[in-house]
Amino acid sequence: MRMDGVGKVFAGEVTALSDMNLTLAEGEFVSLLGPSGCGKSTALRLIAGLMQPTTGKVSWQGRHDTGDLGVVFQEPTLMPWATVEKNVWLPLRLRGEKLDAMRPRIREALDMVGLGKFANAYPRELSGGMKMRVSIARALVTQPRLILMDEPFAALDEITRNRMNDDLLALRGRLGCTVIFVTHSVFESVYLSDRIVVMAPRPGRVAEEVTVTAANRDQDFRTSADYAGLCRAVSAALSRATGDT
């Protein structure tokens, strides 16, 4: 997946994004980090194909069908009238797959996020963290090659959020899919990503990139000096990005 000189101008001459270049390697975890108004969500919508860029080109060679892309929004975005199982079924259902035939796959996706027992629950019966897990299971059920996540854990409390981060890392280690993760949390981005793209606002653009190398991402990494140093570096990059406008 690559973006070449991608820009987006909205009516009223608001430049949401200008000249963004981004190339993703297979299996890479990239965070888009920046303050609000820096165009990270616009970038995500362009990649998802929900918008066309004003300038430049978004290309993705590996994409063959709709199932190659999974999306997780900031809100769980579940259908309240459908059970967990039927919510996860949605991407498959829209391709014409029957529920009975798909049950093992849905079950597998739910097991991956630890919700195997909740297939017949309704979303309202679940906690915020569990709803988010359903949302992730729905993104995983098509076995996507690229997953877009738009501040998925921003609304969760910190304890839940840390657990979700660990679970996400474990899942990704197992599935090896490429992830683009939008966040405004420095700590989260350092903990999760291989590469952090720091973005600047007005107009939205890429300011700097920070590469993260860590052997193991676990509790030790979170308390290590490396981690603290990286967080400092990313914070500095972020203040440069927001300060020079």
The DSSP bridge partners found for residue 148 are 71, 180
H/E stretch holding 59 reads strand 55-59
CA 101 to chain centre: 28
What does the block give as tokens for 56?
């430049």
Pick between residue 93 and residue 202 the one whose CB is nearest to other proteins. 93
CB of 89 to other proteins, least distance (A): 10
Query: Of 35 and 67, which CB lies nearer to other proteins in the complex structure?
Result: 67
- Rounded to a whole number of angstroms, the minimum distance from the CB of residue 244 to other proteins is 33
CA terminus-to-terminus distance, the chain: 29
Measured from the CB atom, the residue of 132 and 212 that comes closer to other proteins is 132
Residues 245 and 200: beta-carbon distance below 8 Å: yes
- Nearest distance from C-beta of residue 235 to other proteins, angstroms: 30
- Joined together, the tokens standing for residue 224 give 């290590």
**Residue placing its CB nearer to other proteins in the complex, 8 or 45:** 45
CB of 216 to other proteins, least distance (A): 33
Q: Are 191 and 227 in contact (CB under 8 A)?
A: yes
**Residue at 138: amino acid letter:** R
Give contact residues for other proteins (rule: CB under 8 A): 45, 48-50, 66-67, 69, 71, 73, 75, 77, 79-82, 90-91, 93-95, 122-124
